[in-house]
Structure 1
Amino acid sequence: MGNVTQTPLAQAAHDLSLWGLFLQADWVVKGVMIALLLASIWVWAIVFEKVTTLRRIRRAADGFEDRFWSGGSLEELYVREGEQPSHPMAAVFGAAMGEWRRSTGRGFGSELAVTGTKERVERAMAVAISREMDRLERWMIFLATVGSAAPFIGLFGTVWGIMNSFSAIAGMQNTSLSVVAPGIAEALFATAIGLIAAIPATIAYNKFASDFGRFAVRLEAFAAEFSAILTRQSEAAAEPAQPARPAPAPAAE
């Protein structure tokens, strides 16, 4: 009689394990769980990629700004980094220098329309910043979507599982805890997986959105400073040379 009493308890403990809850769940609930687990794995892959990218571009931007403000030739810096940029700040610099060289025709020494060149250079840098930020913020929409939708997807699996549990209870005509608990537990397991996917996605989205926003401000500040430098260069190139003052005529004797 003792053996008969212990077997259901062991079976109930087995049914309430995570793997057991997954195996005994309805196929709809299983599909929800698998989708949420895959989304969670992809979220962590995005987090790893964004953390690595942020570290790389910050380190590259620090080094580039040191070289930019070192007083060296902008033409040499453009040839070395601007023609084939490897990070966003070099891309912004390369876009501005490329437009500058096309506008001036012969580098810094030619005469040019200062206002038109300034507008074209600023427009080129704005386009470069937008393009680079779009590339850096790739998959951010996925993080936002998982963070907002995953709890509701998990809740759908929970509601579906609870409906099946109550249907089974009605069919068995038994409302004891040993009958109710496994079905309710496997239904709530879907909501738990939804939260496991949503919480990291929400935190990561907020963190990366703030970091990328600060980096965009940094790029815009660099673009403004570089535009001021090029404007001074263009104004100096456009200034006409002062005519030589004629020598005074000799006094009449």
Structure 2
Amino acid sequence: MAPADGADHSLLGLILQAGPVVKAVMGMLVLASVIGWAIMVEKAILLGRLQREVRLLSNAGDPTAANGEGLAARVQRAAAREWAEGRDHDESRGEYRERIERAMRETLTATMRRVQSGTAFLATTGAVGPFVGLFGTVWGIMGSFQGIAQMRDTSLAVVAPGIAEALLATAIGLFAAIPAVIGYNRIARRLAGLRADALAAIAATGARLSGRPPRGGNLARAAE
């Protein structure tokens, strides 16, 4: 607990005067906040790129002409490979279409998984951050009461600095948790929307390809 006289009651002063346990809690929360913001910035950039790729996929033409290494091109190439194999004699058009779409969905899922990686840290920070800050607060208040017992003085001037240092840990926990929760929810919503748009484009491509035989392939196998 900080001394009553000559104490620095500024925000930085409260942090520097806090006990080692409370300082460690504050440090972990600040680090979690910095990592969380870095993840949110990275995901904003990745989601912007993914949105452009999904738009390209929705407006794509002939899958066999796809080139490049973006998501749209990879999904189209996966569809073109299955389409080029044609239909088996015992395979219905619906099964043929499902096979084409499954190849595209597998490529999409792999990309979505890479984009989603790291968001669990945001969810964890949002859920645990306030409780970690509360632990620091409880520990700090316990130290303040111990100081009161040693000094045998319960005046507000003696109690207030130590309690302020302790409550600062809860404030930092909320500062780390609230943006993490908001960021996680926004990322999850955008991913869900982009996934739905991509799946709609995949379904349209599968329906288009399954209705015509591959060029230069076995027309009898692909016919109805």
TM-score by length of 1: 0.77
Q: Which one is further off, 48-57 or 178-187?
A: 48-57
Q: 2:31 matched to 1:38?
A: yes
Equivalent of residue 77 in structure 2, options 62, 86, 94: 94
Q: 2:55 matched to 1:62?
A: yes
Q: 2:135 matched to 1:156?
A: yes
1:64 Cα shift? 4.7
1:235 Cα shift? 9.3
1:117 Cα shift? 3.3
What secondary structure does 1:233 align onto? coil
The aligned amino acid for 1:20 is: G
Deviations 1:119-161 (A, max 9, x none): 3222212222221111111111111111111000000000000
Number of matched pairs: 214
* Residue matched to 2:65: 76
* Residue matched to 1:251: none
Q: Between Structure 1 and Structure 2, whose CA radius of gyration is higher? A: 1
1:111 Cα shift? 7.5
**Correspondence list, 1:1-253, <5 A:** 11-12=6-7, 14=8, 16-66=9-59, 68-69=60-61, 73-77=62-66, 80-81=67-68, 85-87=69-71, 89-101=72-84, 103-104=85-86, 113-115=91-93, 116-234=95-213, 237=219, 238-239=222-223
What secondary structure does 1:49 align onto? helix
C-alpha contact (below 8 Å) 2:64/2:76 kept by paired residues: no
Q: Which one is further off, 112-121 or 46-55?
A: 112-121
Identity of aligned residues (%): 44
1:75 Cα shift? 1.9
Between the aligned partners of 2:105 and 2:48, the Cα distance in structure 1 is 23
Between the aligned partners of 1:206 and 1:221, the Cα distance in structure 2 is 23
The aligned amino acid for 2:119 is: M
1:114 Cα shift? 4.7
* Residue matched to 1:250: none
Between the aligned partners of 1:190 and 1:26, the Cα distance in structure 2 is 11
Unmatched 5+ stretches in structure 1: 1-7, 105-109, 241-253
RMSD after superposition: 2.2
C-alpha contact (below 8 Å) 2:14/2:164 kept by paired residues: yes
Deviations 1:39-85 (A, max 9, x none): 0001111111111112222223334544x24xxx43222xx23xxx2
Residue 130 to residue 93, structure 1, CA distance change in 2 (3 Å): same
Between the aligned partners of 2:51 and 2:102, the Cα distance in structure 1 is 24
C-alpha contact (below 8 Å) 1:114/1:234 kept by paired residues: no
Higher relative contact order by CA 8 Å / sep ≥ 6: 1 or 2?
A: 2
Between the aligned partners of 1:86 and 1:127, the Cα distance in structure 2 is 15
TM-score by length of 2: 0.87
